[in-house]
């Protein structure tokens, strides 16, 4: 039975393109499908967000040549400062400071704008000889046979050993396969934008816990920072409706004077937040990765990194099967074993932290502030969390080492 490729990946987002490159790096042939025109994905207004790339994830981008393509558009995260307080008011002096120098010389991670990362990945995908990218195309369905996964497009059928779904929270592949999801909606939305400020950030990422949700200030290049402003839906809707000068004034109130004058320099976007976990990542010759498998609260900036670790683990699973002459599509269970526990622990942790910090209950508020202050004094605990933020714990896929 002739196959068009070893694997077919549906979804050419950040995780889908990374998975294609990782599997191709291990010798697999890949067809990458997406429903949108790639040119639309590369438009600066398509996605105004920026992403925190953990140190281990960035190591994979070094292996794949993406780090070289990103060049000067990457900003290292050297420090993380966590505090608890009130909007425009009291900030607890009991803060938690993570300094990457306490666990080695390397940064804990890197900030990069999604548009920059998407372009670097797209250029690498189109240059890879064993990746075919087809977009825009519409996947009509798929059918598993004893020896293949057949994917129906509008005008042809493609055949591969395995189908990888990287098509997001509302995954068509997951729904078609009948895989259930558990979802917990948060009574929160997040505003994402970029600001420019007068004073340098020096690579420091700030996480300020406010009663409505965390307010994150994440360092970008050129005296800019990415903002992830989480709050109750009504407050977010009201902020999104503000005229530009009033929105800028509200942002400045939350910043205080630590960076001098500050103002938006990119469009603002708002997203509803929820926790979503697929009941299984594997069904026959189908595997779910990225947001198709799991989506978490942005409180720790680990959502994309979970998907990138999925991609790296998938590449090792595919490589192991190819190296022993096994059927790729019938040996995907190792991906479930490898990634399920890690993803569920991280999802539960972010859920607990968000619930603990996104409230104004006096006893809880005082306890968490004291906890931050105590944690700041315990060096072994700090080292553990720094390595966790850098993605350096657990059994790492080869590309992350």
- Model pLDDT, residue 47: 73
Per-residue pLDDT, averaged over 220-240, amounts to 96
Q: Is 184 helix (H, G, I), strand (E, B) or coil?
A: strand
Compute the distance between CA of residue 36 and CA of residue 122 in angstroms, rounded to an integer: 13
Of the residues 248, 272, 296, the one at which a domain ends: 272
Residue 368 placed within a domain: no
Both 98 and 44 in a single domain?
Answer: no
CB 394 within 8 A of CB 313: no
- Model pLDDT, residue 95: 75
Both 287 and 326 in a single domain?
Answer: yes
Q: Is 90 helix (H, G, I), strand (E, B) or coil?
A: coil
Both 68 and 90 in a single domain?
Answer: no
Residue 365 placed within a domain: no
Q: What CATH code is carried by the domain that includes residue 124?
A: 3.50.50.60
Task: Write out the two tokens for 320.
Answer: 């192991």
Lowest mean pLDDT among 59-73, 229-243, 261-275, 345-359: 345-359
DSSP 393: S
Q: Is the pLDDT of residue 179 over 80?
A: yes
Give the tens place of pLDDT for each residue, 13-56: 999 999 999 999 999 999 999 999 877 777 766 677 899 999 99
Q: For the chain, what is the mean pLDDT?
A: 89
Query: In 10 A of CB 333, how many CB atoms?
Result: 13
Report which of residues 385 and 164 the model is more confident about: 164
Q: What Rg do the C-alpha atoms of the chain give, in angstroms?
A: 21
Compute the distance between CA of residue 230 and CA of residue 270 in angstroms, rounded to an integer: 9
Q: Model confidence at 360, in pLDDT bands (50, 70, 90)?
A: low
Both 235 and 311 in a single domain?
Answer: no
Q: Is the pLDDT of residue 399 over 60?
A: yes
- Model pLDDT, residue 376: 60
Q: Is the pLDDT of residue 318 over 60?
A: yes
DSSP 50: E
Residue 144 placed within a domain: yes
Q: Is the pLDDT of residue 6 over 70?
A: yes
- Model pLDDT, residue 124: 97
Nearest C-alpha neighbor of 202 from the set 95, 78, 73: 78
- Model pLDDT, residue 1: 63
Q: Is the pLDDT of residue 212 over 60?
A: yes
Both 56 and 134 in a single domain?
Answer: yes
- Model pLDDT, residue 242: 97
- Model pLDDT, residue 348: 85
- Model pLDDT, residue 345: 86
Compute the distance between CA of residue 396 and CA of residue 56 in angstroms, rounded to an integer: 9
Quote the percentage of the chain above a pLDDT of 70: 87
CB 286 within 8 A of CB 163: yes
- Model pLDDT, residue 176: 98
Per-residue pLDDT, averaged over 357-365, amounts to 65
Lowest mean pLDDT among 51-55, 72-76, 170-174, 369-373: 369-373
- Model pLDDT, residue 342: 87
Task: Write out the two tokens for 277.
Answer: 């976990």
Q: Is the pLDDT of residue 379 over 60?
A: no
Residue 219 placed within a domain: yes
DSSP 104: B
**Is omega for the bond preceding 136 within 30 degrees of 0, making it cis?**
yes
Nearest C-alpha neighbor of 338 from the set 360, 314, 367: 314
Both 49 and 132 in a single domain?
Answer: yes
Give the tens place of pLDDT for each residue, 97-110: 878 776 566 788 99
Nearest C-alpha neighbor of 84 from the set 345, 376, 291: 376
State the burial class of residue 110 (Cβ atoms within 10 Å of its Cβ: 0-12, 13-18, 19+): buried
Q: What CATH code is carried by the domain that includes residue 215?
A: 3.30.9.10
Structural domain harbouring 351: 5-72+112-182+273-358+390-400
Of the residues 243, 272, 301, the one at which a domain ends: 272
Q: Is the pLDDT of residue 350 over 80?
A: yes
Both 63 and 152 in a single domain?
Answer: yes
Both 131 and 280 in a single domain?
Answer: yes
- Model pLDDT, residue 373: 58
Tell me which residue has tokens 């990634």: 339
Residue 373 placed within a domain: no
Q: Is 282 helix (H, G, I), strand (E, B) or coil?
A: strand
- Model pLDDT, residue 82: 86
Task: Write out the two tokens for 20.
Answer: 């294609």
Nearest C-alpha neighbor of 301 from the set 207, 167, 400, 202: 207
Tally the domains of the chain: 2
Q: Is 373 helix (H, G, I), strand (E, B) or coil?
A: helix
DSSP string of 128-175, one letter each residue: -TTEEEE-S--EEEEEE-SS-EEEEESS-EEEEEEEEE---TT-HHHH
Compute the distance between CA of residue 186 and CA of residue 357 in angstroms, rounded to an integer: 13
Of the residues 272, 302, 336, the one at which a domain ends: 272
Compute the distance between CA of residue 146 and CA of residue 137 in angstroms, rounded to an integer: 26
Residue 292 placed within a domain: yes
- Model pLDDT, residue 46: 63
Give the tens place of pLDDT for each residue, 106-161: 788 999 999 999 999 999 999 999 999 999 999 999 999 999 999 999 999 999 99
Per-residue pLDDT, averaged over 154-180, amounts to 97
Compute the distance between CA of residue 204 and CA of residue 171 in angstroms, rounded to an integer: 35
Compute the distance between CA of residue 8 and CA of residue 151 in angstroms, rounded to an integer: 8
Both 41 and 118 in a single domain?
Answer: yes
Both 281 and 319 in a single domain?
Answer: yes
Residue 347 placed within a domain: yes
Residue 367 placed within a domain: no
Establish how many alpha carbons lie within 13 A of residue 263's alpha carbon, considering only the half-sphere containing its beta carbon.
5
Q: What angle do CA 277, 281, 286 make, to 5 degrees?
A: 140
Tell me which residue has tokens 């039975």: 1
Q: Model confidence at 175, in pLDDT bands (50, 70, 90)?
A: very high
Lowest mean pLDDT among 72-81, 289-298, 310-319, 382-391: 382-391
Both 212 and 316 in a single domain?
Answer: no
- Model pLDDT, residue 244: 95
Nearest C-alpha neighbor of 176 from the set 165, 185, 186: 165
Both 229 and 243 in a single domain?
Answer: yes
């Amino acid at each position: 039975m002739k196959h068009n490729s070893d694997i077919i990946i549906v979804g050419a987002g950040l995780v889908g393109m990374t998975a294609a490159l990782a599997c191709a790096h291990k010798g697999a042939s890949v067809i990458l499908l997406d429903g949108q025109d790639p040119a639309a994905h590369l438009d600066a207004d398509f996605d105004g967000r920026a992403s925190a790339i953990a140190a281990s994830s960035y190591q994979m981008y070094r292996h794949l040549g993406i780090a070289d393509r990103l060049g000067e558009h990457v900003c290292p995260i050297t420090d993380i400062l966590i505090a608890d307080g009130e909007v425009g008011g009291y900030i607890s002096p009991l803060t938690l400071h993570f300094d990457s120098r306490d666990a080695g010389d390397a940064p804990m991670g890197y900030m990069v704008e999604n548009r920059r990362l998407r372009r670097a990945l797209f250029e690498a995908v189109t240059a890879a000889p064993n990746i075919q990218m087809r977009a825009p195309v519409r996947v009509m369905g798929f059918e598993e046979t004893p020896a293949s996964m057949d994917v129906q497009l509008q005008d042809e059928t493609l055949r591969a050993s395995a189908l990888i779904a990287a098509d997001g929270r509302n995954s068509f592949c997951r729904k078609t396969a009948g895989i259930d999801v558990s979802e917990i909606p948060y009574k929160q939305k997040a505003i994402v934008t970029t600001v420019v400020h007068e004073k340098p950030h020096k690579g420091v990422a700030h996480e300020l816990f406010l009663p409505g949700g965390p307010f994150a200030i994440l360092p970008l290049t050129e005296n800019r920072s990415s903002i992830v402003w989480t709050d109750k839906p009504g407050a977010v809707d009201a902020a999104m409706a503000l005229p530009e000068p009033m929105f800028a004034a509200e942002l400045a109130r939350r910043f205080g004077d630590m960076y001098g004058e500050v103002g938006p320099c990119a469009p603002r976007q708002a997203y509803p937040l929820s926790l979503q976990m697929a009941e299984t990542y594997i069904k026959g010759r189908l595997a779910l990765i990225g947001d198709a498998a799991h989506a978490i609260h942005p409180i720790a900036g680990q959502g994309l990194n979970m998907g990138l670790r999925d991609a790296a683990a998938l590449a090792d699973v595919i490589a192991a099967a190819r190296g022993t002459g096994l059927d790729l599509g019938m040996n995907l269970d190792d991906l479930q074993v490898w990634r399920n526990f890690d993803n569920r622990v991280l999802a539960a942790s972010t859920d607990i932290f968000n619930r603990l910090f996104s409230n104004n209950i006096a006893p809880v508020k005082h306890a968490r502030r004291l906890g931050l202050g105590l944690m700041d004094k315990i060096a072994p605990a700090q080292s553990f969390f720094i390595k966790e933020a850098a993605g350096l714990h657990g059994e790492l896929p080869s590309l992350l080492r």
